Structure 1
Amino acid sequence: MACLSLSTKKKLHAALNVLIVYLRTIFVACATSCFYSWYRFQKRLRSPSPSQTVIRVYKQLEYLHGLISESDVTCIAELQMDRRSFRRLCQVLVTRGQLRATRNVSIQEMDFWQTPEPIHENSTDPKWKWFKNCLGALDGTPVKVHVPECDKPKYITRKNEIATNVLGVCTPDMQFIYVLPGWEGSAHDGRVLRDAVTRRNGLKVLNGCYYLVDGGFTNGKGFLAPYRRTRYHLNEWRDGYRPTIPAEFFNMKHSSARNVIVRCFGLLKMRWGILRSPSFYDIRTHRRIISVCCMLHNFIRREMVVNPMEAEANGQFQDGNSDVNNYITTVESSDEWTA
């Protein structure tokens, strides 16, 4: 080495450096390849074998077949609908919703939401004949959710629960017209309603028509609230008490009709347990779950002639293209209902 000239030593040193770089590159490539092979091997160990997958799918199909072929009692207990309704739902999802064996499902929601119809002048319904041109009733209800720690203060309700404030609008026959989930539990019902009315695809209220609301909402055009500081709730009319002034009579009839939304929410939560307690889903997914539960509620109401759960709820919970200028687009006080 001592006999080598300086230029030769520099060339050898440069060649050694290049060789070291090549060796390092080869080592990294080999290590990466070994790690990837080990990862694929471990993944195959954790994933079920094709035979296990076939067995699992077969058991699921066998269980589902048992539900829809054994009896309506079993099917209602597990799926909340009878066998005929479940087959009808599958048919709708395949033909209208384009349901396929993919992860993304497209469903035309217009097949599930109910279109409101005003109460006619010649209506004989004992609860609704007093409210001509009324479309139904609306109210808000809390649904418990899981939210990030930083967002919890916004979702705390008056009952100190972490929940989202869900606005629900229903017809006199207890079918949902419109649902707006996602607002924080601390949001006032009136604020949620204003958001629903001003949205592009929000709640539509025809001029001349209205919804029944409770005292927490604004009494104005399109929304009829009861008299304030006057006996109102249904439990206040029990034990034979009768109204003594016109305002009390109006509130009694108003409360009896508006109670449909209370029963609607009660039946919804009785039917779907995921709405009674917070799930592990994020708030965005939970909003979609709430909407789907309401759509399925409407579907079951239309398809099932006899619903045992509905009878229980009735006894428990009593407490497209259009002219935009023909709809109410604001929520504000007015003299609409002033005598």
Structure 2
Amino acid sequence: MDDNFTHMVRTQHLAAIHAACLVLVLIAHRRFTNRNSINVPTRDSMLHRQEVREEMLHDLLTSGKCRQLICMSENAFKILCQKLQSEGGLRPTQRMTIEEQVARFLHIVGEIDGTHVRVRVQIKDAPIYHGRKGYPTISVLAACTFDLKFTYVLSGWEVTASDSRIIKDALTLEDKLIILDGKFYLVDGGLPHRSTLIAPYRGVRYHLKEYSNRAPQNP
């Protein structure tokens, strides 16, 4: 009787393991398929991107819309691109020409960053507000222009919330952070790089304090 019961339990365990393996294989297959379908651009998408690039460069260099788009004359824009190339070491990439890189930077309207503000909370809630500071804080996300004017502030998130979760909330709230089409904000490495947010290159020093006793790595 014991042997039969043991055999039955073992059979059930094996069946459960087999079912779990089938589920994992199915999930892995779907993720692999979706990843490949997303990462591989189609011919139509590549042609569309090329048309967009050509239209933008035409608007900047020959259509007379340069001043309207980036508050700069066509001649000044060309001179700026030449100086950044000859004196600043700017180089074209496989995806962007020098003109595209400069135009993209000139469409940056400000910066977004977060900070921690000390708060007093109930003892039972204290753990989720404790971070590296050693005392309870909340995360405050702020956007400001280059002339130091705040344009958006979001506060109240506990310190354990990730930066990506906070910025996602800021962009989806009813009273959300609005970023106009074709404009961008600079963000630090803790925030995601997306169509309206420009994050720094991974693995490259960019804080001023990192240059105290080391030279820059590249232009």
If the length of structure 2 is used for normalisation, what is the TM-score?
Answer: 0.51
Q: What does residue 155 of structure 1 align with?
A: 129
Deviates more, 1:139-148 or 1:152-161: 152-161
2:192 paired residue among 211, 218, 231: 218
Show the counterpart of 2:208. Answer: 234
Q: By how many angstroms is 1:120 displaced?
A: 4.0
Give 1:180's match in structure 2, choosing from 154, 175, 199. Answer: 154
Q: Which has the larger radius of gyration?
A: 1
Partner of 1:142: 116
Confirm whether residue 170 of structure 1 aligns to residue 144 of structure 2: yes
- Structure 1 regions of 5+ residues with no counterpart? 1-117, 250-339
Match of 2:168 among 187, 194, 202: 194
Number of corresponding residues: 125
Per-residue CA deviations over 1:58-80 (Å, capped at 9, x if unaligned) read xxxxxxxxxxxxxxxxxxxxxxx
Retained in 2: the 8 A contact 1:211–1:222? Answer: yes
Tell whether the 8 Å contact from 1:158 to 1:186 is kept in structure 2 after alignment.
no
- SS of the counterpart of 1:178? strand
Distance in 1 separating the partners of 2:167 and 2:135: 21
State the alpha-carbon separation in 1 of the partners of residues 214 and 136 from structure 2. Answer: 39
How many Å apart are 1:132 and its aligned residue? 1.1
| Residue 193 of structure 1: how far off its partner (Å) | 0.7
CA distance in 2, matches of 1:216, 1:240: 23
Identity across the alignment (%): 40
Q: 1:210 to 1:165 in 2, by over 3 A?
A: same
Q: Which residues in structure 2 correspond to 1:8-87 (within 5 Å)? A: none
Q: RCO higher in 1 or 2 (8 Å CA, sep ≥ 6)? A: 1
Aligned to 2:107: 133
Give the residue type in structure 2 aligned to 1:193.
I
Runs of 4+ displaced beyond 6 Å? none
Does the 8 Å CA contact 2:204/2:217 hold for their aligned counterparts?
no
Gaps of 5+ in 2: 1-68, 85-101
Partners in 2 of 1:240 and 1:120 — Cα distance? 36
- CA distances 1:43-91 after superposition (whole Å, capped 9, x unpaired): xxxxxxxxxxxxxxxxxxxxxxxxxxxxxxxxxxxxxxxxxxxxxxxxx
Question: Alpha carbons of 1:239 and 1:119: their partners in 2 closer, same or farther (altered >3 Å)?
Answer: farther
